[in-house]
Amino acid sequence: MTTVHDSVDEAVAGIEDGSTVLVGGFGMAGMPVDLIDALIRQGATDLTVVSNNAGNGDTGLAALLAEGRVRKMVCSFPRQADSWVFDGLYRAGRIELEVVPQGNLAERMRAAGAGIGAFFCPTGVGTPLAEGKETREIDGRTYVLEYPLRADVALVKAHVADRMGNLVYRKTARNFGPVMATAATTTIVQVQQVVEPGGLDPEAVVTPGIYVDRVAVVPDRSGATS
Amino acid sequence: MTVTVREHTDRGPLSRDEIAARIARDIPRGAYVNLGIGQPTLVADHLGPDSGIVLHTENGMLGMGPVAVGDQVDPDLTNAGKIPVVELPGAAYFHHADSFAMMRGGHLDVCVLGAFQVSAGGDLANWHTGAPDAIPAVGGAMDLAIGAKQVVVMMTLLAKDGTPKLVRDCTYPLTGVGCVDRLYTDLAVFELGPGGAAVTETFGISYDELAARLDVPLRPGA
């Protein structure tokens, strides 16, 4: 059952040290900044964070990294023009990095959420990222065996939720949110607005509420509405 | 049948913009296309409005429009390089697992990627220099390289120090094996495959001069 919270601090309560945390977003689009800020205040540490990037600028995921709370990053694209926080930690040997091709990152979480034990994927065959992994030839093509990526917690930003936990997203801020919501034991979502059941068109729901545990309302401050 | 190379020796090498225009000219009408971050994004400037070509961006959109300006900028709507863009009529949004299923599932007609090195057999190296102090970052490059029906690379033929980037075997870590179909450079256009590199067109250099600059077996091809 989904619970709705007025405060992000209440929504992130109970995240334990050593947790694996999925963090939505592609760059800053879809980044659940307010939930991350609440996680910083909450204090959990020694985290493994799974996210497409390894933080941008000094806010959101970058702020969590700067606090020294992340033991390991699992991501596809850590190095960017504004990833100075991660870059510094990595070069100082203060954070582990697992680089995963972006599609494998998404599909491994999808598999975790869908009860798939493992899957054969053509991505990365013959590259360093497939070294040591089991391969199989199927109909003349070589595939690499990839395992699900499941987590204790997912932090996701959506646009609007209803009280059932059904979610709709906004434009490319959707990105990893719907997949991450399925792959964690506890899925925590920040939205701009919560509406009563019936307030969302059931045909337009992207993430059904069965995947969502906690919703926190964070009114938008950026000016991007509609 | 005589195979001929279209040699354009009456002009200089292609500029970056001219390479992009040359690539755009060869993309079929109505194709679904992904343009990699960096130089390949220039190709979008040369796609005619009536081409029917639909741009895919890995972060979950078909029907991507040009870079957003002024009031159009919306932090929730960016391209794969995290640059704000606009949506075109008929656009669609989807999540990341769907976006990459489109690639792997062979639904994208063309992708255009940059490269550090490409081998004559079509191996691609474009994600990591392998330098000890480099932070590896792969993004969607490996998924695109093996997924799109046609993989096109856009790059300068020679590195800044003059060494060819079309090689017998890549020395940088690979992104994909035997995946590049066509290579567009400032000096020539190549078809790549198990049979090696075929030159279809040259710019500011003759076929013989080109062959002398490269350490790969070449054949003329059209």
Percent of chain B topping pLDDT 70: 99
Total beta-carbon pairs less than 8 A apart between chain A and chain B? 148
Tell me the mean pLDDT in the region B91-99.
Answer: 98
Q: How far is A179 from chain B (nearest CA, A)?
A: 7
Q: Are B33 and B109 in contact (CB under 8 A)?
A: yes
Best residue of B103, B142, B151 to probe chain A, by most A CBs closer than 10 Å: B142
State the Cα–Cα distance between residues A203 and A190, nearest whole angstrom: 21
Task: Determine the average pLDDT of the residues in A62-71.
Answer: 97
Query: Locate tokens 């989807």: which residue?
Result: B94
Cα(A99)–Cα(A176) distance, rounded to whole angstroms?
Answer: 16
Q: In angstroms, what separates the C-alpha of A26 from chain B's closest C-alpha? A: 7
Residue to mutate among B98, B143, B174, with most A CBs inside 10 A, is B143
Q: What is the pLDDT of residue A174?
A: 98
Q: Could you tell me the strand order of the sheet in which A119-121 lies?
A: A119-121, A141-146, A135-138
Cβ(A215)–Cβ(A186) under 8 Å? no
Picking from A90, A122, A224, the nearest residue to B74 by CB comes out as A224
| Cα(B217)–Cα(A11) distance, integer angstroms | 62
User: Each residue of B157-179: pLDDT tens digit?
Assistant: 999 999 999 999 999 999 999 99
| pLDDT above 80 for B2 | no
Contact B79, B85 (CB under 8 A): yes
User: Measured between alpha carbons, how far is A179 from A150 in angstroms, rounded to an integer?
Assistant: 11
Cα separation, B24 vs B47, whole angstroms: 6
| Residue in A26, A78, A109 nearest the CB of B137 | A78
pLDDT, average across residues A113-138: 98
Partner residue facing A129 (CB), from B96, B100, B138: B138
Per-residue model confidence (pLDDT) at position B116? 96
- What are the tokens at A79? 């190095």
Set out the domains of chain B in order of their start, with CATH numbers. Answer: 6-220 (3.40.1080.10)
Count the neighbouring beta carbons within 10 Å of the beta carbon of residue B94.
Answer: 18
pLDDT at A163 over 90: yes
Q: Tell me the C-alpha distance between A215 and A189, whole Å.
A: 5
Per residue in A170-209, pLDDT tens?
999 999 999 999 999 999 999 999 999 999 999 999 999 9
Is-contact A87 B135, C-beta < 8 A?
yes
What is the crossing angle of helices B96-104 and A102-114, to 10°? Answer: 110
B86 inside 8 A of chain A by CB: no
- b/e code B149-178 from CB counts within 10 Å (16+ = b): ebbbbbbbbbeeeeebbbbbebebbbbbbb
Res A79: pLDDT: 87
Q: Measured between CB atoms, does B119 come within 8 Å of chain A?
A: no
User: Residues of B with CB below 8 A from A129's CB?
Assistant: 138, 142
Three-state secondary structure call for residue A194: strand
Query: B32 at the A interface (CB within 8 A)?
Result: no
The predicted pLDDT at position A62 comes to 96
Query: Which residue of A lies nearest to B73 if distances are taken between CA atoms?
Result: A224
Q: Is the ipTM beyond the 0.90 threshold? A: yes
The minimal CB distance from B59 to the residues A100, A172, A178 is found for A172
Q: Are B89 and A173 in contact (CB under 8 A)?
A: no
Half-sphere exposure of B167 (CA within 13 A, CB side): 18
- Using an 8 Å CB-CB cutoff, list chain A residues near B132: none
* Beta carbons of B189 and B182 less than 8 angstroms apart: yes
Residue numbers of B annotated as active site: 58
Q: Indicate the average pLDDT of chain A.
A: 96
CA distances (Å), origin A201, targets A104, A205, B15, B147: 31, 7, 50, 34
Q: Which of B95, B134, B143 sits opposite A102 (nearest CB)?
A: B143
Residue of chain A nearest B175, judged by CA positions: A127
| All domains in chain A, ordered by first residue | 3-117+148-217 (3.40.1080.10)
The reply to whether residue A106 touches residue B77, judged by beta carbons under 8 angstroms, is no
Mutate to test the interface with B, among A171, A205, A222 (most CBs of B within 10 A): A171
State the pLDDT confidence band at A89, using cuts at 50, 70 and 90.
very high
Question: Could you report the per-residue pLDDT of A31-52, keeping only the tens digit for each?
Answer: 999 999 999 999 999 999 999 9
Q: Which amino acid appears at position A156 of this protein? A: V
H/E/C letters for each residue in chain B? CCCCCEEECCCCCCCHHHHHHHHHHHCCCCCEEEECCCHHHHHHHHCCCCCCCEEEECCCEEEEEEECCHHHCCCCCECCCCCEEEEEEEEEECCHHHHHHHHHCCCCCEEEECCCEEECCCCEECCCCCCCCCCCCCCCHHHHHHHCCEEEEECCCECCCCCECEECCCCCCCCECCCCCEEECCCEEEECCCCCEEEEEEECCCHHHHHHHCCCCEEECC
Mean pLDDT taken over chain B:
95
Indicate the helix (H) or strand (E) that contains A105.
helix A102-114
Subunit contact A27:B174, Cβ cutoff 8 A: no
Cβ–Cβ contacts within 10 Å for residue B2, how many?
5
Residues A67-85, mean pLDDT to the nearest whole number: 95
What whole-number distance in Å separates Cα of residue B117 and Cα of residue B130?
13
Separation CA A19–CA A11 (nearest Å): 16
Q: What is the rounded average pLDDT of the residues B130-140?
A: 90
CB contact (8 A) between residue A172 and residue B57: yes
